[in-house]
Amino acid sequence: DQQVKQNSPSLSVQEGRISILNCDYTNSMFDYFLWYKKYPAEGPTFLISISSIKDKNEDGRFTVFLNKSAKHLSLHIVPSQPGDSAVYFCAARLNYGGSQGNLIFGKGTKLSVKP
């Protein structure tokens, strides 16, 4: 059973518009959430994160929103640029018992930004 779900395998957006990538989770013990970006033939790179005690975190064109009651987070990219075309992974940290704070990843959403 998936604990971190990215239900949209792909998303296509026009350059300059907003990209919204969504992520749902099932475990209320997640306390830290991260977004990673991955280009082909490269490793994932960290993009932005949010603690469960916050509902918004902003870094330049990237904003992550967290709705704990709905167990939902989203990544907003404004404005979208062709260089943002990549696979985006949502990840959550499970931090209790013997879990050692491992990150659990969703399946990813492939974003295509068209010029």
Partner 1 sequence: NAGVTQTPKFQVLKTGQSMTLQCAQDMNHNSMYWYRQDPGMGLRLIYYSASEGTTDKGEVPNGYNVSRLNKREFSLRLESAAPSQTSVYFCASRTTGQLNTEAFFGQGTRLTVV
Please give the residue ranges that form the binding site for partner 1 (CB under 8 A): 6, 9, 32, 34, 36, 41-46, 49, 51, 89, 91, 93, 98, 100-108
For 24, residues 6+ apart whose C-beta sits below 8 A from its C-beta are 4, 5, 6, 7, 70, 71, 72
> Residues 101, 85: contact at Cβ < 8 Å?
no
How far apart are CB 43 and partner 1 at their closest, in Å? 4
> Residues 46, 34: contact at Cβ < 8 Å?
yes
How far apart are CB 64 and partner 1 at their closest, in Å? 13
Which C-beta is closer to partner 1: that of 81 or that of 102? 102
Which C-beta is closer to partner 1: that of 57 or that of 74? 57
Q: Looking up tokens 């404005």, which residue turns up?
A: 79
Which C-beta is closer to partner 1: that of 14 or that of 45? 45
